[in-house]
């Protein structure tokens, strides 16, 4: 954990749950955990319901993606302003599942990040290498390249967040070693400071990729790890809150 940065535990609910299930889950995490910021990112159809349930509580709400345009003929897409309008304060961008399933490259993520910032949302930009890239010794250069291509100027001063999610660890139950996580987070911090200056020392850097209650405490204690982006475990309130309680405060 970076000294002086309040931990953030963010839950990515992905494409799961009915409106009723989303409301129950939101109610179960509403009171949050003292000393830790919590964020949940439900599917688009559930955003308003979850925002209403969480209104006045300790847990913030975010979207899982947004379009680069403010409005227009983009069937099936959602703008950053629409997310704000239904209560979102954050948005996940460039998740590996979006990069893979929708062929999103760094340029597309950059455009979406600019749109999120313009709408007053806090972007959580995801970066991470494939297993082949890690085995080839390219993990750090891949992450640096994604940061360079996906993060615009103004990101740091607006409170933008970066999440490191090794592609091969997402949803697999596998995680990098603690040394590997620490090395990538140090690389991200260095890259951001080199580009944006000392202000980037306060940028939150999250780890994501099979985070669960059993491994959260040592991961969240690592240098430059300022929280977690949680997938499957965020769908179980007890597990999500247990991860939050594992954060050093």
Q: How many CB atoms lie within 10 A of CB 43?
A: 17
Q: CA–CA separation, 243 vs 129, rounded Å?
A: 24
Q: Establish whether 171 is an annotated binding residue.
A: yes
Out of 3.40.50.2300, 3.40.50.300, 3.20.20.70, 3.40.50.720, the CATH code matching 8-245 is 3.20.20.70
Q: Which of 95, 97, 129, 133 is catalytic?
A: 95
CB 209 within 8 A of CB 170: yes
Residue 17 pLDDT:
96
- For residues 41 and 64, the answer to whether their CB atoms sit within 8 Å is yes
The predicted-structure confidence for 180-215, as pLDDT tens digits, reads as follows 999 999 999 999 999 999 999 999 999 998 999 999
95 is catalytic: yes
Strand partners, 45: none
What would the pLDDT profile of 28-48 be if each residue is shown by its tens digit? 999 999 999 999 999 999 999
Task: Pinpoint the alpha helices (H) of the chain.
Answer: 19-29, 47-54, 80-85, 96-101, 106-118, 131-135, 139-150, 178-196, 213-220, 237-245
pTM: 0.97
User: What DSSP letter does each residue of 14-58 carry, written as one string?
Assistant: -S---HHHHHHHHHHHTT-BTTBEEEEE--GGGHHHHHHHHTTSS
Domain ranges in the chain are 8-245
74 in catalytic set = no
* Annotated binding residue 210: yes
**Annotated binding residue 112:** no
Q: Tell whether residue 217 is among the known ligand binding residues.
A: no
Q: How confident is the model at residue 65 (pLDDT cuts 50, 70, 90)?
A: very high
Is 128 part of any known ligand binding site?
A: no
Task: Work out the average pLDDT over 105-116.
Answer: 98
Question: Phi first, then psi: what are they for 22, rounded to 5°?
Answer: -65, -40
- Indicate which residue of 133, 140, 165, 224 is catalytic: 165
């Amino acid at each position: 954990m970076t000294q002086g940065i309040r931990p953030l535990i963010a839950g990515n609910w992905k494409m799961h749950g009915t409106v009723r299930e989303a409301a129950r889950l939101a109610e179960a995490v509403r009171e949050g955990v003292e000393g830790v910021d919590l964020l949940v990112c439900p599917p688009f159809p559930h955003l308003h319901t979850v925002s209403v349930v969480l209104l006045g509580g300790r847990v913030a709400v975010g979207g899982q993606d947004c379009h680069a345009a403010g409005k227009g003929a983009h069937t099936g897409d959602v703008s950053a302003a629409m997310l704000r309008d239904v209560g979102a304060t954050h948005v996940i961008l460039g998740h590996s599942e979006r990069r893979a399933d929708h062929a999103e490259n760094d340029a597309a993520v950059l455009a979406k990040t600019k749109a999120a910032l313009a709408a007053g949302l806090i972007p959580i930009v995801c970066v991470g290498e494939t297993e082949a890239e890690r085995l080839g010794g390219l993990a750090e250069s891949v992450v640096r390249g994604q940061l360079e291509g996906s993060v615009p100027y103004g990101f740091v001063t607006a409170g933008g967040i970066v999440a490191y999610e090794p592609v091969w660890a997402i949803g697999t139950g596998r995680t990098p070693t603690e040394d590997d996580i620490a090395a990538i987070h140090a690389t991200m911090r260095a890259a951001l400071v080199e580009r944006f200056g000392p202000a980037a020392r306060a940028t939150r850097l999250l780890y994501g990729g099979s985070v669960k209650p059993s491994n959260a405490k040592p991961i969240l204690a690592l240098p430059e790890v300022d929280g977690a982006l949680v997938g499957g475990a965020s769908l179980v309130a007890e597990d999500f809150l247990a991860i939050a309680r594992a954060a050093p405060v």
